[in-house]
Chain A
Amino acid sequence: EAQVTQNPRYLITVTGKKLTVTCSQNMNHEYMSWYRQDPGLGLRQIYYSMNVEVTDKGDVPEGYKVSRKEKRNFPLILESPSPNQTSLYFCASRQPFYNSPLHFGNGTRLTVT
């Protein structure tokens, strides 16, 4: 089944404790992206990747890191999480074409205390 797999689904952590949210897709998509969703703000892009070893900042990259060492995986790293990073996070992927729809993972609810 074609899908974007994101783990974990829920994560509670404390300020400053490094964490990684994994994302993997099995559709051979070149493009992958991370979003955060907050009430009243819709989805805001954190980072995106056009292909292996090619990443770029989105609208809200501060406090996040990503890497794209292989095509299928695009982990999101929070080196020193803070409470303002408490949010719902989505990974997504698509083909690199203008009319390609985004395929989303099931989201990760992160709480930083």
Chain B
Amino acid sequence: AQTVTQSQPEMSVQEAETVTLSCTYDTSESDYYLFWYKQPPSRQMILVIRQEAYKQQNATENRFSVNFQKAAKSFSLKISDSQLGDAAMYFCAYRSARKDSNYQLIWGAGTKLIIKP
């Protein structure tokens, strides 16, 4: 069974600096999808960025980018120019491309990101 590990329960960064949140996963599959979700104090779950495993190019969304290392099964999230509004829990999630998986998401435990003003 697939698993997702976020080894950093908490991270802190100075405002305007860059921070990287780590995520590793375990799978024997070659085709899958990876997601990062953000959960601010409002509790809302917000999709930050997603990456298809067959795409070699790392996904980017404004200040958010990923470092996808398929062989290493690593999917880290880099936040550049950190802002106070980036303070949140960040969850990494894996989805198999197999139809018999019903495309369920497998979640990491989350990393709490603190932004220091």
Interface size class, chain B: 20 to 34
Complex alpha-carbon distance, A48 and B101, angstroms:
12
Question: What residues of chain B lie closer than 8 Å to A41, measured between beta carbons?
Answer: 109
Number of cross-chain contacts by CB at 8 Å: 50
Residues of B within 8 A of A99 (CB): 33, 50, 52
Contact between chains at A102 and B105 (CB < 8 Å): yes
Q: Which residue of B lies closest to A41 (CB)?
A: B109
Take A101-B47, A106-B44 as given contacts and tell me if A43 and B107 are in contact as well, using a CB distance cutoff of 8 Å. Answer: yes
- Could you list which residues of chain B lie within 8 angstroms of chain A, going by C-beta atoms? 4, 6, 9, 33, 35, 42-45, 47, 50, 52, 91, 95, 97, 102-105, 107-110
Among A56, A58, A98, the residue within 8 A (CB) of B97 is A98
Interface positions of A (Cβ within 8 A of B): 31, 40-45, 48, 50, 56, 58, 88, 90, 92, 96-102, 104, 106-107, 109
Which residues of B are found within 8 Å of A42, using beta-carbon distances?
A: 4, 6, 91, 107-110
Residues of A contacting B95 with CB < 8 Å?
98
CB-based closest 9 A-B pairs: A104-B45, A42-B107, A107-B43, A42-B109, A43-B107, A101-B47, A98-B97, A42-B110, A40-B109
